[in-house]
Amino acid sequence: MDSADNCLSVDQVRADIPLTKEYIYFDNAATTPVPLPVIRKMEEYLREYCANIERGAYSIANRVTEEWDKARNDVARLLLKCDPKNLIFTRNLTQATNIIAYALGNPPLTVENRRLKSKNPLINWRKGDEIVTTIVEHHSNILPWMRLAYYKKAVFKIIKNLPKTGLITTEAVLENISSKTRVLAFQHASNVFGTVNDVKSIIKAVKEVNPDCLIYVDGSQGPGHMPVDVEDLGCDFYGFSGHKGPLGPAGTGGLYVKKDIIDELEPFELGGGIIVDVTEDYYELRRDYPAKKFDAGSPNILGLIGLGEAARYVSRIGLKRIHERERNLTGYLLSEISKIKGVEIYGPVESELKTGVVTFNLKGWSSHDLCLALDEKWRILTRAGYHCAMPAIRWLGVDEAYKGNVRISFHYYNTFDEIAKAVEALKQLAS
């Protein structure tokens, strides 16, 4: 859709997001508003085929299962360019990371002589093995790995030799990788610095040094904001949130797992809907559709059907167009706020290294007070504080003086006029 003239315009998207009439919403990195066609799709489910998936034999049960499969299909193909059979539906990015951290710590089970039996684990943990992540990660890409390292007595290593712009460089990663590195986890784009990391080059370089190192990418700020092709990136796992870039509802997300690996993973949740057989002694998980063995229990059908529609919606805008517009908005904001006396900007100042995230502080203001002032007087909604990345904020050195920083984050529907208003407001607060 990217090149087509009938892509959704900024005005059309703003008309689909009523909140834009009342507020200047600049907190898209936390969660985005949901456009009306996505809301309507969820309403359609609630009104017309509100049944459970893959369970009933009656007509609306078939309809909901079809919609459910279509949603997974479109999310996989449009947002990640992967086979839907390799896309696990999740609640968010956080659950995606936890699914992988659990599976790498616990062997898959199989059935032998009508008894459960452990298969070989994906990682045979040995003393001195390493799990590596970076100082600029969100807590969701630190805590699950810290706990896994603790349980497996592995070395937990955090890459810190990064430039203060927060960019994850191939050189810095390579300095921290060895033949003992079992897992590397790092982000595609940063919610604190706005950096877009060269994921493909980093993965290629790491796999050359250590082909067995499994690589997890936190894509929370990726799909929906830019074109993503997970197979081309070469990662083993890629998690994302549905309620950020894709403009989907909260409580949705996904996890891509590479083809040869997904069969070797044990789901951390077990229950209904994922089995071929259960007796008093064993259970046998379905193998016909690898991602679906992670769907234990009745899932968030409403939200995930909404996410499918959201994937179609952002594709109608065009993912390349979204990325380009966010970069242009970012470039404009950076050039304007850098002129304000007392403003300190974090992350790269070159918009081509960035997604639509800008963080800063204003001398004399704590990050929270500044955020409150922008809302109270101008209805400009920003985010202040640690952005769920305390180690990153401490490493940046803005903990004591500002209690974090202020973040303005865009999506396609934000405008240059909204930025001009925010810049004017900041000028008044700075004087």
Ligand X SMILES: Cc1ncc(COP(=O)(O)O)c(C=O)c1O
d(CA 184, CA 387): 22
Q: How far is the CB of 241 from ligand X (least distance, A)?
A: 3
Cα separation values, 308 from 13, 170, 177, 230, 314, Å: 17, 34, 37, 18, 10
With contact defined as beta carbons under 8 Å apart, do 314 and 224 qualify? yes
* 199 CA to centre of own chain: 14
Q: How far is the CB of 142 from ligand X (least distance, A)?
A: 10
| Beta-ladder partners of 186 | 217
Nearest residue (CB) to ligand X, 134 versus 221 = 221
d(CA 244, CA 42): 17
Q: How many beta carbons lie within 10 A of that of residue 279, not counting itself? A: 9
Alpha helices in 228-276 (DSSP H): 230-233, 259-262
Nearest residue (CB) to ligand X, 16 versus 218 = 218
Nearest residue (CB) to ligand X, 140 versus 176 = 140
Q: How far is the CB of 418 from ligand X (least distance, A)?
A: 21
For the annotated catalytic residues, the residue numbers are 388
Nearest residue (CB) to ligand X, 235 versus 425 = 235
Residue ranges binding ligand X (CB under 6 A): 29-30, 92-94, 138, 140-141, 187, 191, 218, 220-221, 241
Nearest residue (CB) to ligand X, 210 versus 367 = 367
d(CA 290, CA 264): 10
HEC readout, 71-114 = HHHHHHHHHHCCCHHHEEEECCHHHHHHHHHHHHHCCCEEEECC
